[in-house]
Amino acid sequence: MSSTGSGGRRFRPEDHEEGGRRFKSENAERVPAGELRHSNEERAPQRSLDRRGDIDLGFTDISSGSKAEREDDYDDYIELQPRRTRSVREDTDDDFGYVNRSPYSRNAHARARRGFPIIPVIAVIIIIVGVFVTLNLLGFFGGDDEKKTSSVSSAPVSFASLSGEVATPTPTPTQPPTPTPPPLNTKYGSIHPELQVKKQEFVSNEDGQKVIHLTFDDGPSNLQDEFLDTLDEYGAKATFFISAQFFDDAQIVEAIKKLKSRGHQVAAHTYTHVYKDVYTSVETYLNDFKKINDLIKEATGEYSPIYRFPGGSDTGYNESIRKELFEEMNARGFVYYDWDVGSGDSEGLSVSEQVDRVLGNALYYEDCIILMHDGPDKQDTIESLHTLLPEFIDEGYSFKLLDPTVPPTQYAKISDYTE
């Protein structure tokens, strides 16, 4: 191909060695731009010479310099080659302009270009490596800094994360404290897939302790302080299955924080407590459950793993969806708790009737979950507590919180529907 021929002729070292002017005028007539570029691509080993040709011919200069800046061809060549073909020493001289180039140095350059320029290439490699190492040491590439940062901070950060008390003013990347939950392979797994908790083993009460688990459904309400003060009076702790019936979201979050700060347990009940809406489908249940448990998470930093169905697990409202609902909630790690004894405070019983019902049943239990309610109309419940709590203490009971290790009382069980 003609470009190869002209390119081969044109880039002969001896032509170049003769001096740029003649070289320039000859090739200006012979080599069109397209061919020149082509030859550049095909002749990678002589790339520096190609560049020179480009400049002299007035084609677009692909090198770093521009044509107008070059007045002398030899100096042009030198300028085109800096950092690539000159030794460090020559470079230094040139940069400062103190040394006139002698004929000897010109010849040396010419010789260097005849064969493969091993020495200049080595010099270039050394310079590049030197620059890279220097920049690396100065931290320009960031790798070392990352390693230093992580090695310095990894231990305290990880321990702090485990304790859940990260006080360091680190930016948002460390904010999400909980890892992404695993994908749910359940029928309704695509609905609020983040709604999962780690399941825990149940621990039976085998040492014969007499335990009362006080539970209050439906709050928080405007009677919260009275409930808490009453419980404090007897050193009793309780579990509150909360709903959004009486407070707005912000009030509920504050109420949850107060419950926790006073040493009580907070668990999920329902957001609306409207049976026909909550139990329309598994999806509507999950939507309602998420709304109330999101408030718990907002206040405490994590979902409650324990919950109570509105109306209990055996309510007729959930019958049509019960099997799938139980399976879905179980797969997500949540455990529901019914109760052993209900005080009847939601049935209009008087204070004395509530007391009789509770004591007439709970004292038969070694470990008893008692259901009562918090609400604006539950003054009678508070009054009954003033009788019940000292009675339990006299009978040798201690008050314990529900947590996911407590074996649950469940009226309707998953096993009833899966076997």
Binding site for Zn ion (CB under 5 A): 217-218, 310
Instruction: Compute the distance between CA of residue 119 and CA of residue 7 in angstroms, rounded to an integer.
Output: 26
Nearest distance from C-beta of residue 214 to Zn ion, angstroms? 15
Our CB check for Zn ion shows the closer of 23 and 307 to be 307
Nearest distance from C-beta of residue 156 to Zn ion, angstroms? 44
Residues belonging to the chain = 419
Our CB check for Zn ion shows the closer of 217 and 338 to be 217
Our CB check for Zn ion shows the closer of 120 and 312 to be 312
Nearest distance from C-beta of residue 269 to Zn ion, angstroms? 5
Dihedral-angle region of residue 97 (phi above 0 means left; psi in -120 to 50 means alpha; beta otherwise):
left
The residue with its CB nearest to Zn ion is 217
Our CB check for Zn ion shows the closer of 49 and 242 to be 242
Instruction: Compute the distance between CA of residue 342 and CA of residue 311 in angstroms, rounded to an integer.
Output: 12
Nearest distance from C-beta of residue 217 to Zn ion, angstroms? 4
Half-sphere exposure for 276 (CA within 13 Å, toward CB)? 0
Our CB check for Zn ion shows the closer of 3 and 239 to be 239
Instruction: Compute the distance between CA of residue 111 and CA of residue 117 in angstroms, rounded to an integer.
Output: 9
Nearest distance from C-beta of residue 398 to Zn ion, angstroms? 26
Nearest distance from C-beta of residue 310 to Zn ion, angstroms? 5
Q: What single string gives the DSSP state of each residue in 69-131?
A: G--SHHHHHHHHSTTTTS-HHHHHHHHHT--PPPHHHHHHHHHHHHS--HHHHHHHHHHHHHH
Instruction: Compute the distance between CA of residue 222 and CA of residue 233 in angstroms, rounded to an integer.
Output: 19
Q: What φ, ψ does residue 418 adopt, rounded to 5°?
A: -110, -5
Nearest distance from C-beta of residue 245 to Zn ion, angstroms? 8
Our CB check for Zn ion shows the closer of 305 and 310 to be 310
Our CB check for Zn ion shows the closer of 179 and 348 to be 348
Of 98, 119, 96, residue with least CA distance to 109: 119
